[in-house]
Each structure stands twice: as structure tokens, then as C-alpha cells.
Amino acid sequence: MHRTTRNRAGMPTDNVNGLLLIDKPAGPTSHDVVAAARRALGTRRIGHTGTLDPFATGLLMLLVGRVTRLAEYLSGPPKRYDARLRLGIATDTDDATGSVIATSEDWSALAPASVRSALESHVGERLQLPPSFSAKKVGGRRSYTAARQGETMPLAPAAVRIESLRVTSLELPDVAFEVTCSTGTYIRAIARDIGSELGVPAHLAMLRRTAIGPFDVTEATRLEDLTPERALAALRPPIEALRHVQRVDIDPVAAGVLMHGGRVALQTPGGALPGIAAVTTGERLLAVADVKDGWIVPRKVLADG
């Protein structure tokens, strides 16, 4: 006999599905945030869509229940950060948590215009060398594991895209900036590389993620406020996780076919572009599907048949 388990708010745990936006403080790891959400919602089926370093603050997107199956569709949107780099000091982690490995007062001879120009020149496509203290793997081994043991691993540069970079405050040796970039971009590496280009050591002194695609940190719940009641109130419906994907609504009859894996005809030909779509009936998310040649072909069915 199936026994329904319930969370601390009395809701069946198999009915806890959706998107939870969290404003992470400095200190906890991304895994710590997931653990807190699991306790608050009374379910273990929670994952995040991209980590934040412990010293960083800001937006974490948590997928709950069946919505964890949508993770692959949430890895692509660009991310926006507020950051501050400090010239004159380099660390082994390229951020404020590391050990100092170089210092210099040469920053005092820099012209503010040259500093601003160096940052703005990073806009566009470029190859970026990941920090040695990163989760990149070489031969199945994490780079940060080798770095902690005093070893150097040969990391390959990765292609990244800086969509925009705007200096918001320039009070040397500190430079504050806002950057929007592709997934996989290390803001620590930007700070490190800016210092190298200017001929002075540098590190990332502060980092806050303010947006992921259309999701803004102003919508998020502070981690310290995550009680069971507030977590349930903040849990957004599954369709919200695909806010950045085109939406196609179908009638209940077509929904029955789709939920059993069958393809259905577009009910408003020309109303949807070829590509990925979030298929709904009303506000209920049914599936992620391909739209092509006038048909909706399911990729992942989320609703019950």
C-alpha cells in the first residue's frame, strides 16, 4: 500500500513541485542552500541550476520535485553580476578568500581611463583560462583538489562571452562593475586578467549575482527567512521555470495525447516559432516539446497522464 508522506507544513511531498528563488548570503555553499530548502519543504528532490562560491551572494535558482527534470533548459540564460575588483593584491584563488601571493603599489600610477578601458575591452567572445581553484576536471580530478595540494594542473582555456561590462565606481585601488556574461564565465578570472593587462596584481573582492536570464534577485527569498511556511509561499509553479522559453497552449483533448507521448498538431498554425516550447493547458505545465513542421513533439512530459 502506498503511504503518502507529508512535509512540515502538512503538504504531501510528492505534490511539492516548482521553482524556488533564493538570495544566498556570503558563507554558505550552494549545497548548504539546497539542504536548507530540503528541510524547509520536506522533500529531498531539489537541485540548483548553477553554483555560487561561498563568498559570493545573490540569486540561486532551485528546482523542486518534478521540475528538477528541467535543469538542462535553465543552464543557458546569461547571468548578471555586481562585482568589485581590487588592484595591488593577487591571491591564489583569485578572490578575497585566498592567500596573498603578490602585492604591488604600482596601481597608484594608473590612469583611471586606462583601467576603465581595460575592463570594457573584455566585452565580446574570448578564451578564458579557468582559475586553478575551480571545479574544472583534468583526468577525472578537480582542479581545486590539486591546487590545495600545491600542484598545478594544465587547464585549457574555455570560450566565454561577455555581453556587457559597465564600470559603476572607480576609486582606485577598487573598481566596481556590472557584468552580464555566458554560463561558465569566471568573474574571478576577469579580475585576474584585468590586473595582468594593467601590469599589477589583482583579485575579486566582492561578487553578487543579480540575475539569471529573466529571473532577478529582487524576486528571491532570503535564505535566512526560509521557514517551511515561507518556502511554500515562495514556491513558484512549474511553468515559471520556463519563463524564458516560448509557450504553446493546447486544449485538454490534445493534452491527453501529449501526456501519453503522442505528437499533436499546432492548434494555431503560425503562432509558434520552430524550436523548444513549454506546452501548457491553462497554467498547467504539461511538457517541454519541439515545435516543427506544424507539430508539437514532446521531449519531456512532466504532468501525469
Provide the CATH number for the domain formed by 79-212 in this structure: 3.30.2350.10
Written as one letter, the residue type at 152 is T
pLDDT tens digits, residue range 178-221?
999 999 899 999 999 999 999 999 999 999 999 999 999 999 99
What fold, for 245-301? Answer: 2.30.130
Closest CA to 56 of 99, 97, 101, 100: 97
pLDDT band at 103 (very low <50, low <70, confident <90, very high): very high
C-alpha of 176 from chain center? 21
Per-residue cell: 218: 529582487
- How many CB atoms sit inside 10 A of residue 211's CB? 18
Strand-strand pairing, 247-249 and 275-281: parallel
- Same fold: 17-77+214-241 with 79-212: yes
Phi/psi for 69 (5° steps) reads: -70, -10
Max intra-chain CA distance, the chain = 76
pLDDT tens digits, residue range 147-160?
565 556 667 788 99
* Cβ(87)–Cβ(58) below 8 Å: no
- The CA distance from 297 to 269, in Å, is 15
- More confident call, 48 vs 113: 113
* Cβ(212)–Cβ(59) below 8 Å: yes
Average pLDDT on 76-98 reads 95
- More confident call, 235 vs 154: 235
Res 4 pLDDT > 60: no
H helix or E strand, kind and range, residue 239: none
Closest CA to 75 of 242, 189, 198: 242
Q: 17-77+214-241: which CATH architecture? A: 2-Layer Sandwich (3.30)
- Peptide bond between residue 130 and the one before it cis (omega within 30 degrees of 0): no
What is the structure's pLDDT at 36? 97
* Cβ(255)–Cβ(286) below 8 Å: yes
Phi/psi for 161 (5° steps) reads: -130, 125
Residues assigned a catalytic role: 53
Per-residue cell: 152: 598545478
H helix or E strand, kind and range, residue 117: helix 112-120
For the chain, the structural domain boundaries read 17-77+214-241, 79-212, 245-301
What is the structure's pLDDT at 132? 75
Closest CA to 300 of 245, 235, 251, 218: 245
What is the structure's pLDDT at 51? 86
What is the structure's pLDDT at 2? 37
Res 286 pLDDT > 70: yes
